[in-house]
Amino acid sequence: MYIEFPKVEGIIVQENQNNSGLPKMLTIRQSFDDEKIIDIPGHIKKEMEKLSHKADWFSGKRIAITSGSRGIPNIHIALKAVCDQLKEWGALPFIVPAMGSHGGATADGQKEVLESFGITEEFVGVPICSSMDVVHYGDLPDGTPLYCDKLAFESDGIVVLHKVKPHTDFRGEHESGLLKMIAIGLGKHKGAAAIHSHGFYGFEGKIVGAAKQFLEKAPVAFAVGIVQNAYDELCTIEVAEKEDIFEADARLLKEARTKMAGFKFDDIDVLIIDEIGKNISGFGFDPNIVGRSNNKNYGVNDPIQIKRLFIRGLTPESHHNGCGLVAADITTRRCLNDVDWAPTWTNFVACTEIQGGKIPMYLNNDRDALLMAIRSCGGESRPLRMARIKNTLCMFEMEVSEALYDLIKDREDVELVREAHEIEFDREGFMV
């Protein structure tokens, strides 16, 4: 469902006396811990040696491997490596999309999401079996029903493969990781809607309770936990046996927090994000970096103060899902016209956070939107502090205004890449 938003006519943007016009920008590079895995297949093969004592068990077994909707670098290579080792042991692996209500909550839509990550039957060498059918395997004490993908539940073994990271909307010992993949990803649309039925109130307890029952009743074979570094590269891939999944999930979450990127400053006037998308974060961008979560009630604090947030567009991999636009103060008509509102609103209905479906103010192009953002900053009189990032997976290089650069230029973990330059626009007023 697409909506054609009309052109904006008659709005006059007067210059702010504190911030007249557009500032010049400098390109900087931030440095973080850059440890990464060079040989992904080799690393996974070595990790799977932990299971060599039960290799004979896999012979002839149908093994379901989960694959979610989050953008994980080289996920297709990692999945292929796991499948190749299972086939070497004589197993019959297949991949199941495990992404709750994402992909428009349809089997074809979820398969398309995997294909956009390079996960195809031709590359991975195993079938991709996408279905929205589920099995009801239990209930939480409050009556919340628990579901699992039918094909996975009826397999001989399930490999829970997912990245582990801080969640965008709540804090706990277990957040976005292996347990969440069990409780929500494998639950498909029906299971995701059930777990989210009360929003994020008591959310960690729900995913922990669901995972405990799942490990008792489902044929879980093992898990593969993944952690990314600040450069959007894989720095940890760990195989955990069934009985170690809880411990691994909690430990990898602690590691993920230390590996996260962030800004080297904490107070700015305007932040420009070029693109958001479900492949980047469940909320389109990572609130652990930017702040502005869809939910303010569960222990998530903004890591940076931003007066105005300008979101320019969606990633191609988002499949036109506009989750996260609600956090923007301003966007463009082109961006809103790129949103498919049916899957976007389906996501918010599933998690009961329907406030996320609101739209921000919009103007006809980037130049007008940026001028409006600057004009409306208000607050103390000071030179404009502005930053521009591609997305929250690309935090190592960004543009900053001269006033902001002056605040951080003496840091050892900040390097100047390009001297001050004018912001470039095309003929239609969109940033180059």
Scan for tokens 């890449």, then name that residue.
417
426 is a domain residue: no
Radius of gyration over alpha carbons of the chain, in Å?
A: 22
pTM across the whole model: 0.78
Q: Is the pLDDT of residue 251 over 70?
A: yes
Residue 167's domain is classified under what CATH number? 3.40.50.11440
- Is 2 inside any structural domain? no
280 burial via Cβ count (<10 Å: 0-12, 13-18, 19+): buried
pLDDT at 11: 74
pLDDT value of position 18: 47
pLDDT at 150: 97
Same domain for 121 and 243? Answer: yes
Round to whole Å and give the CA distance between 90 and 412.
52
Dist CA 286 CA 153 (whole Å): 31
Q: How confident is the model at residue 19 (pLDDT cuts 50, 70, 90)?
A: very low
Residue bearing the bigger pLDDT, 129 or 105: 129
| pLDDT given at position 17 | 47
pLDDT for res 49: 95
The last residue of one of the domains, among 259, 274, 304, is 259
And the tokens for 320?
């036109």
pLDDT score of 14: 58
Contact (CB, 8 A) for 146 and 159: no
Q: Are residues 50 and 176 in the same domain?
A: yes
Same domain, 310 and 406: yes
Instruction: For residue 6, tell me if it sits in a domain.
Output: no
Question: What is the structure's pLDDT at 36?
Answer: 96
pLDDT at 122: 97
**Higher-pLDDT residue of 299, 114:** 114
- If asked whether residues 344 and 368 sit together in one domain, one would say yes
The reported pLDDT for the residue numbered 37 is 97
Using CB atoms within 10 Å of the CB of residue 6, give its burial: 0 to 12 exposed, 13 to 18 middle, 19+ buried: exposed
**pLDDT, average across residues 141-169:** 94
Over range 261-273, report the average pLDDT: 95
Checking if the pLDDT of 23 tops 70, the result is yes
Q: Which of 230-234, 300-304, 324-328 has the lowest mean pLDDT?
A: 300-304
- Is 80 exceeded by the pLDDT of residue 174? yes
Q: Do 272 and 238 share a structural domain?
A: no
Same domain, yes or no, for 331 and 377?
yes
Q: Is residue 302 over pLDDT 90?
A: no
pLDDT at 84: 97
* Host domain of residue 202: 40-259
- On whether both 254 and 268 belong to a single domain, the answer is no
Q: Which of 259, 280, 308 is the last residue of a domain?
A: 259
How many structural domains is the chain composed of? 2
**Is 307 in the same domain as 274?**
yes
Residues 190 and 277 in one domain: no
| Residue 168 within a domain | yes
As a whole number, the mean pLDDT across the chain is 91
10 located within any domain: no
Q: Which amino acid is at 340?
A: D
For 378-401, give one letter per residue: b (16+ CB within 10 A) or e. eeeeeebbbbbbbbbbbbbebbbb
% of the chain surpassing 70 pLDDT: 96
Say which range, 1-10, 110-119, 248-257, has the weakest mean pLDDT: 1-10
Residue 147 pLDDT > 50, yes or no? yes
Lowest mean pLDDT among 142-151, 279-288, 294-303, 367-376: 294-303
pLDDT at 298: 45
163 and 267 share one domain: no
Domain for residue 210, yes or no? yes
Is residue 187 in a domain? yes
Q: How far apart are CA 58 and CA 61, in angstroms?
A: 5
In a domain, 12, yes or no: no
Residues 109 and 98 in one domain: yes
Same structural domain for residues 397 and 302? yes
Query: Under DSSP, is residue 341 helix (H, G, I), strand (E, B) or coil?
Result: helix
For 77-87, the pLDDT digits (tens) are 999 999 999 99
Residues 99, 5: Cα–Cα separation, whole Å:
30
303 has pLDDT over 90: no
Last residue of a domain, one of 218, 241, 259: 259
